[in-house]
Amino acid sequence: MKTIFGVFLNMLFLVKLQTSSVSAVSSRERCPKADDLESLEHLVQSGEETPEPIPTTIKGSIPTWINGSFLRNGPGKFEFGEDKYIHWFDGMAMMHRFHIHDGSVTYSSRFLRSDSYVQNLEKNRIVVSEFGTVASPDPCQSIFARFFSYFQTPQPTDNANVNFVKYKGDYYVSTETNYMRRVDPQSLETKEKVDWSQYIAVNSATAHPHYDREGATYNMGNSYGRNGFFYNIIRVPPPEDKSALEDSADLRGAEVICSIPADEPRKPSYYHSFVMSENYIVFIEQPIKLNLLKFMLYKIQGKSFHNILSWEPQYGTVFHLVHRRTGKKSPVKYRAAPMFTLHQINAYEDNGFLVMDMCCGDDGVVIGEFTLENLRRESGQAMDEFYNSLCRNLPRRYVLPLNVDENTPLDENLITLHDCKATAMKTNPEELLQYGGLEFPQINYAKYNGKPYRYMYACGFGHVFADSLLKMDVHTKELKVWRYPGLYPSEPVFVASPGAAEEDDGVVLSVVVTPRKEKSTFLLILDARTFTELGRAEVPVNIPCGTHGVFNEMG
């Protein structure tokens, strides 16, 4: 039976979004319980570099029109000497490149030579604190020097292990601090460190920027000081003619187009990404809170960053709407029930409404749970208990009325879109639940981001790491699935075929790993339309589970 899954809106003094009674049931409670899950310990072990490209073994066929590199990022080294990281997010960034040309594929990889990596390697211990691990004082220091080191301001890490991003035509690897690293997408060579605060007044930036069709890049970053805590929308202009410019990082012209004050100044929200349509940017202030007092004291207390984040549902969720071209913030504040989101699917405008699709969960406790101890649990009961405790994310649609003013009537449903029955998105969550929910969503971004769309690609989570690939028709809710026991695919990335006329005319790329057999990684190529396998490129290396990736098309 199909169920209402989404939100409806009514007008109070603010615009208030309320989830339907059906979606109030926790997805954790509705998902099938795991039974005898296998251990994933081998997928979170340190990898080894392959700096020079090596050939792969092709099974099936690789379309000859694919010409470029599939670039992946993620944690790849989890210890230095006797010191071991605590959280999966702490691992040193490892970059991977699958270069595809004329039906053949080569593979290479390198660790990012961040300051964090280099200093840790030189000292053969962890000397830079990460998200879930606090670096210990130098044992060679005197007892007084070690004591006073606890009172020094911790320096943000440049261990950019989340994503590949692009500014003015250059590739960078990024995390969620104020530092990025420019990289060569061909050789994976590490280039200069870039500090956002040298260009604009922000203390951090996300690893999930958006790109407009004119070539500009948008991102979000925090700032805090005497005037409070602000969420800032950043715009980096399109690239200039680089023929006369030096080979160096160039963020000149970057500007903050809007600063949004935190709804709770002493407890600002954590966020991983944001929403962008053709004309609007939406910042979602969710109730994963950062305690600023604890933040200032966390090194003294010996606590890592992830320990000062807390899920506080009493604050609910606030949607802040900003016009992308003017930077003007809407005077309307949209409020919703508490929810947690990491990744958005798409957003578009439709007859005076902003439709936003995203992957949402019922609580945000999950971020802190991805410790290496949990991920390395033994097969069976121990792993089952961990997996069953996790919140599962599912696709959810929010619809914001754009034309709200003092004349808008109170207590009246404002959604009149013809395809929004019961003011909500109709779908069949039970079908998705059998795949453990849905995350790491992707679309045909180049052509359909910010526009009405039909297809999305994502990972299903029948295990702690993704164990299936999903294609959903958001019109009919039809699902297509790629899933095989013991195989764990990465985030799917869509690549359009030359001259594609249809939205799903192309391929989907994913890197598949397995804990069952040594050195059995492969690049999977699916026909995006039928979601059937075209071919795979097997590479005799062990690749740790990663985070995000992009396709770098070659001319």
pLDDT digits (tens, 9 = 90+) for 501-533: 999 999 999 999 999 999 999 999 999 999 999
The helix, strand and coil proportions of the chain, stated in percent and rounded to the nearest 5, come to: 15, 40, 50
pLDDT digits (tens, 9 = 90+) for 447-466: 999 999 999 999 999 999 99
Tell me the mean pLDDT in the region 324-350.
94
Q: Give residue 147's pLDDT.
A: 42
CA distance 318 to 447: 29
The mean pLDDT value of the chain amounts to 87
Backbone phi, psi, residue 231, to 5° = -100, 120
Q: Give residue 470's pLDDT.
A: 97
Tell me the mean pLDDT in the region 45-56.
98
Tell me the mean pLDDT in the region 482-492.
98
CA distance 426 to 522: 36
Backbone phi, psi, residue 362, to 5° = -90, -15
Q: Give residue 291's pLDDT.
A: 79
Q: Are 423 and 448 in contact (CB under 8 A)?
A: no
- pTM comes to 0.90
Residue reference for tokens 């929308």: 233
Q: Give residue 300's pLDDT.
A: 58
Name the token pair of 545: 């589970």
Q: Which of 240-249, 269-278, 308-317 has the highest mean pLDDT?
A: 269-278
Q: Give residue 6's pLDDT.
A: 36
Tell me the mean pLDDT in the region 19-38.
64
Higher pLDDT, 544 or 141: 544
Confidence of residue 325 (pLDDT cuts 50, 70, 90): very high
CA 338 to chain centre: 20
As a whole number of Å, the CA-based R_g of the chain is: 23
Q: Is it the case that residue 407 has pLDDT exceeding 80?
A: no
pLDDT digits (tens, 9 = 90+) for 277-287: 999 999 999 99
Q: Give residue 409's pLDDT.
A: 59
Q: Which residue type sits at 314?
A: Q
Annotated binding-site residue numbers for Fe cation:
208, 272, 343, 548
Residues 6+ apart with CB under 8 A from 167: 209, 217, 236, 250, 251
Confidence of residue 219 (pLDDT cuts 50, 70, 90): very high
DSSP 488: E
Q: Give residue 197's pLDDT.
A: 94
Name the token pair of 343: 């990744």
Q: Is it the case that residue 421 has pLDDT exceeding 60?
A: no
Confidence of residue 414 (pLDDT cuts 50, 70, 90): low
Confidence of residue 22 (pLDDT cuts 50, 70, 90): very low
Q: Give residue 1's pLDDT.
A: 26
pLDDT digits (tens, 9 = 90+) for 51-77: 999 999 999 999 999 999 999 999 999
Q: Give residue 435's pLDDT.
A: 87
Q: Is it the case that residue 157 has pLDDT exceeding 60?
A: yes
Q: H-type helices in 70-190, by residue range?
A: 115-123, 143-149
> Which range, of 129-133, 179-183, 188-192, 356-360, averages the lowest pLDDT?
129-133
Q: Give residue 265's pLDDT.
A: 86
Percentage of residues of the chain with pLDDT beyond 90: 72
Confidence of residue 419 (pLDDT cuts 50, 70, 90): low
Sheet strands (E) in 237-380? 255-261, 275-276, 280-285, 288-290, 309-311, 317-323, 334-336, 340-350, 353-361
Q: 244: buried, middle or exposed (CB in 10 Å: 19+, 13-18, 0-12)?
A: exposed
DSSP 269: B
Question: H/E element holding 94?
Answer: strand 92-101
Q: Which residues pair with 271 in a beta bridge?
A: none
Annotated binding-site residue numbers:
208, 272, 343, 548
Confidence of residue 367 (pLDDT cuts 50, 70, 90): confident
pLDDT digits (tens, 9 = 90+) for 426-442: 345 556 778 888 999 99
Q: Are 14 and 335 in contact (CB under 8 A)?
A: yes
